[in-house]
Amino acid sequence: MRVVYFDCPSGAAGDMIMAALVDAGAPLEALRAELQKLPLEGFTLVVRQVTKGAFRATKVDVEIDPHAHRQHRSLGDILGILEASALAPALRGEAARIFTRLAEAEARAHGTTREAVQFHDVGAVDAIVDVTGGVVGLHLLGAAAVHVSALPLGGGFVDGPHGRIPIPGPGTAELLRGFPVVDTGVRAELVTPTGAAILTTLAASAGRMPAMTVDAIGYGAGTMDLPGTPNILRCFVGETGEPGGDETVLQVETTIDDMSPQLYESLVERLFEAGALDVFLTPVVMKKGRPGVVLTALAPHDRLDAVSRVLFEESPTIGVRWSERRRSRLAREVVTLPTDYGVIPFKVSRLAGRVVTVTPEFAEILRIAREKALPVREVLDQARADGRRLLHD
């Protein structure tokens, strides 16, 4: 599955996200053509190469006609602009989801409703272009999922429409709730409301980079020059997870009737270490009514010798049989998601891109239940619900 991982050592803003995607290979002219489908006038996308510290990066600026009227907009105004655009429904929906989540965060922070929220800078043309451009850029790269690093909070104060406020601002802080963050010691606004809205809304997981084969890296430059820190955001583009589909595996078996049950645990562990895909035990009745166990291991063809060797070394069997088996499997991956209990790895399977199962890593569930003195089932149910909500929202 094609994924994009955003590494944000210096924070994130809408223009940085769009710039990193362009730098990673999103076709610039295709991006411009899509943005022209918005019913907005008086803006130009300007792209140039810059240096931030030791890094070459792409800088994207949305230049506004100085005679254009900058106005405050409500969520309804922005959703109307998106709905009136000629963008594909999926792109309109993603951009609308980002702005809706931003409005909900601002409403919680200021004690009002999302319909009553008046966007100031976020309602401007450049912010609408930044959000839509980020969504379009991901589409042009073929991204099926987005993953994001922990985000630096920044610090200090900034002057806004409501006066002097601490960093991060109240709306940004709401968006970052439940998302992994880090304090890098930089006293500046590192994560903007648009940057936080885009990444926290689209992220399938947050924290560590997923296992992936990287084929493109993009660097997006921010506007500020930070002391001792290059103001960049970079994205890694590649393939992750195990592909679904049909395949042929070996079913390796042996029948055992004279082995202590205590030895099966270590035998199964060694079989997995040898490359077995799955191992299971089936009780059987053998000749003369003796109880026995059929041990079955599924393995790739190239692991037959290793699996057979473990069976001969760790069990009393003197013979192993195998046969080919066809199997179909869903595409799957391991993602890390923020939950009410903290960040937990989940096994996620997909069918035709649609999430089918979301299963938290059980070892983590056990650890959390013990630490918090909670029933395992309660933690498991809550974590599974959090995971499905994050992946289906």
**What are the pLDDT digits (tens) for 179-218?**
999 999 999 999 999 999 999 999 988 888 888 889 999 9
Position 198, amino acid: I
Instruction: Say what the pLDDT of residue 244 is.
Output: 65
Instruction: Say what the pLDDT of residue 228 is.
Output: 84
User: Omega of the bond prior to 168 within 30 degrees of 0, cis?
Assistant: yes
CB atoms within 10 A of CB 286: 13
Q: Taking a C-beta distance cutoff of 8 angstroms, is the pair 122, 194 a contact?
A: yes
**What are the pLDDT digits (tens) for 315-358?**
999 999 999 999 898 887 777 777 888 878 888 888 876 788 89
Position 295, amino acid: L
On the question of pLDDT at 59 being above 90, the answer is: yes
In sequence order, the 6+-apart residues with CB closer than 8 A to the CB of 339 are 178, 360, 382, 383, 386, 387
In sequence order, the 6+-apart residues with CB closer than 8 A to the CB of 126 are 15, 43, 62, 64
Residue ranges with strand state E in 310-392: 321-329, 331-339, 342-351, 354-360
Instruction: Say what the pLDDT of residue 161 is.
Output: 67
In sequence order, the 6+-apart residues with CB closer than 8 A to the CB of 160 are 120, 169
What CA–CA distance (Å, rounded) separates 233 from 120?
25
- Give DSSP secondary structure letters for 81-148: HHHHS-S-HHHHHHHHHHHHHHHHHHHHHHTS-TTT-EESGGGSHHHHHHHHHHHHHHHHTT-SEEEE
The arithmetic mean of pLDDT across residues 240-261, rounded, is 86
Report domain extents, the chain: 2-240, 245-329, 331-392
Instruction: Say what the pLDDT of residue 337 is.
Output: 77
Quick one: pLDDT band at residue 70, thresholds 50, 70, 90? low
- Coil/strand/helix, residue 53: coil
Tokens coding 277: 């895909």
Instruction: Say what the pLDDT of residue 118 is.
Output: 79
Instruction: Say what the pLDDT of residue 350 is.
Output: 81
The CATH number of 245-329 is 3.30.70.1380
CB atoms within 10 A of CB 101: 20
Q: Taking a C-beta distance cutoff of 8 angstroms, is the pair 232, 220 a contact?
A: yes
What CA–CA distance (Å, rounded) separates 13 from 18?
9
Average pLDDT of the chain to the nearest whole number:
90
Instruction: Say what the pLDDT of residue 212 is.
Output: 85
The residue among 69 and 113 whose pLDDT is bigger is 113
Edge-to-edge strands, sheet with 291-299: 278-285, 291-299, 245-256, 321-329
Instruction: Say what the pLDDT of residue 188 is.
Output: 92
**What are the pLDDT digits (tens) for 99-134?**
999 999 989 988 888 888 877 655 588 889 999 999
What CA–CA distance (Å, rounded) separates 171 from 193?
7
Q: Taking a C-beta distance cutoff of 8 angstroms, is the pair 97, 201 a contact?
A: yes
What CA–CA distance (Å, rounded) separates 174 from 178?
9
User: Of the ranges 76-85, 336-345, 358-367, which one carries the lowest mean pLDDT score?
Assistant: 336-345
**What are the pLDDT digits (tens) for 141-164?**
989 889 999 999 899 988 876 678
CATH architecture of the domain formed by 331-392 = Roll (3.10)
- The pTM (predicted TM-score) of the whole model is 0.66
For tokens 């907009």, name the residue.
73
User: Of the ranges 237-241, 259-263, 332-336, which one carries the lowest mean pLDDT score?
Assistant: 332-336
For tokens 């592909």, name the residue.
243
Percentage of residues in the chain having pLDDT higher than 70 = 95
Instruction: Say what the pLDDT of residue 175 is.
Output: 94
On the question of pLDDT at 61 being above 80, the answer is: yes
In sequence order, the 6+-apart residues with CB closer than 8 A to the CB of 352 are none
